[in-house]
Amino acid sequence: MGDSAVPCDLDASRSHDVVCACTSGQPSKLRSLTSSSGRSHIVRPLRQRGSIKTPTITTLIAVIGPLCSPHPQGGIGILRDCLIISQSIWMATWAYPPLPPEQLVQEAASALTRELEWLLRSLQESLLSLKEGLQECASLLAPKDPGSTLVLSSPRSESVKGFVTRIGTKIIKGDIQLRLNSLPPRGSASIRLSFSSSPGAPELVLNQLVSVRNLINQSLDIVDVSTWTGDQLNARFIFSQLHLLHETIAEARQMLKGDTEDVRGKWGEASADENTFDPPLPPYLSFHLCIADSALVLFLRTLEPSSPAHTPTTFTTDLSLTGFSLRDRLFGPRLPPHDETGAVFTWRGEEVKVKEKIRVESQDPSLMAVMAKLTALQYEVLKWIASLKVLMGDDDSESEP
């Protein structure tokens, strides 16, 4: 141990003379602790969950006091004895009487095996609790009336005003008013988009929620295999099942988070069918619904063909002097209206450019609850994996989600 100090608690349940395992620079040197009253004291390390509890002065006085009284110097003498003993105890956790090295290794391995078996048995109860959490997530995504009615409104403008109703993984109803500068008004100040109630109309399905629901069902199957079908006391089997469960829950969370376009789906391919609405969508208007950060997000894009022969539909009033507009000369270059300006996309088999882009989001309480539950469940599974790795002797680190 060298000169490092390991504090310990004192056990006053026995008052006869004993020799404690103390070190003063030499781990093998033994000596007894004797107070000024002439009595030897029992000193034992008190281990709690792998750490040694540090005694306070109050604890030392309560424990050593009965052994030191009556003290010739009264309370001051008792306190001095406490300080002397607390400063002179340099403990090593030894087994007494000493065991042969071979037997000590066997006892340590046996204790580790029992600890691993206890953990595997306790994980069965924990998996049942986790299954209840997964079932709650599945219930929140189940198609149940009346569903969730979400408001879609553009902030600080009248560009988009309306609502949609989600039941399960589908949008079954909606009514939205659009006022876009680049969208022909058709003789009115705004355009109304209403979801068709015709039985033959195409459905608007949120593919991300379909994936989340499937992943939750897969997680439930993994839990059933771990608790009923497989060997419950096989550490390697449970370890692999927990890894698979962790990856499945993490993938479900990524679907709800919607960080990348690969998760949300490319808008040119995932835009709603024009016949989903009654009347159908205006030409060159993309209506794309997706999930991002547990919220329902609507992207509206007005498009134009990217062919050179196409004549722009917008008219600019800027005057050009020697190749530069008067506005740019006076106020500097104009910032692009959106992040997709000038880019060419494929939409319904045609190359197009985006004239105007609007993003509107609406927080969905049910999706937020699913995200919170999945995050907590993933954290619990990660803790179980870490505990198993310690008892199995696996030193590979597991990355945090």
Question: Band of the pLDDT at 190, cuts 50, 70, 90?
Answer: confident
Q: Which residue would you say has higher pLDDT here, 125 or 95?
A: 125
**Same domain membership, residue 151 and residue 246:** yes
Compute the mean pLDDT over every residue in the chain, rounded to the nearest whole number: 76
**Same domain membership, residue 325 and residue 281:** yes
For 287, the enclosing helix (H) or strand (E) is strand 285-292
CA dihedral 242, 248, 253, 255 (to 10 degrees): 170
pLDDT computed for residue 379 by the predictor: 97
Confidence check: pLDDT of 372 > 60: yes
Domain count, the chain: 2
User: How would you classify residue 109: left for phi > 0, otherwise alpha for psi between -120 and 50, otherwise beta?
Assistant: alpha
Q: Is residue 315 part of a domain?
A: no
**Same domain membership, residue 154 and residue 57:** no
Confidence check: pLDDT of 185 > 80: no
- Mention every residue, 6+ apart, whose C-beta is less than 8 A from residue 255: 208, 209, 211, 212, 215, 263, 291
Each residue of 256-301: pLDDT tens digit?
A: 999 888 888 888 888 999 999 999 998 899 999 999 999 999 999 9
Q: Which residue would you say has higher pLDDT here, 84 or 212?
A: 212
pLDDT computed for residue 352 by the predictor: 92
CA 261, CA 158: separation in Å to the nearest integer? 27
Handedness of CA 108, 113, 114, 119 (dihedral sign): positive
**Same domain membership, residue 191 and residue 63:** no
Give the structural domain span for 73: 1-98
Each residue of 305-338: pLDDT tens digit?
A: 987 555 444 444 444 444 556 555 565 555 656 5
For 82, the enclosing helix (H) or strand (E) is helix 74-88
- Report percent pLDDT > 70 for the chain: 65
Domain closes at, from 46, 77, 98: 98
**Same domain membership, residue 145 and residue 83:** no
Is the bond into 333 cis (omega within 30 degrees of 0)? Answer: no
CA 152, CA 162: separation in Å to the nearest integer? 5
What proportions of the chain, in percent to the nearest 5, are helix, strand and coil? 40, 20, 40
Residues in the chain: 401
**Same domain membership, residue 81 and residue 4:** yes
DSSP structure class, residue 276: G
Across 162-169, average pLDDT: 96
pLDDT computed for residue 237 by the predictor: 95
**Same domain membership, residue 326 and residue 231:** yes
pLDDT computed for residue 189 by the predictor: 75
**Same domain membership, residue 298 and residue 232:** yes
277 forms beta bridges with 195
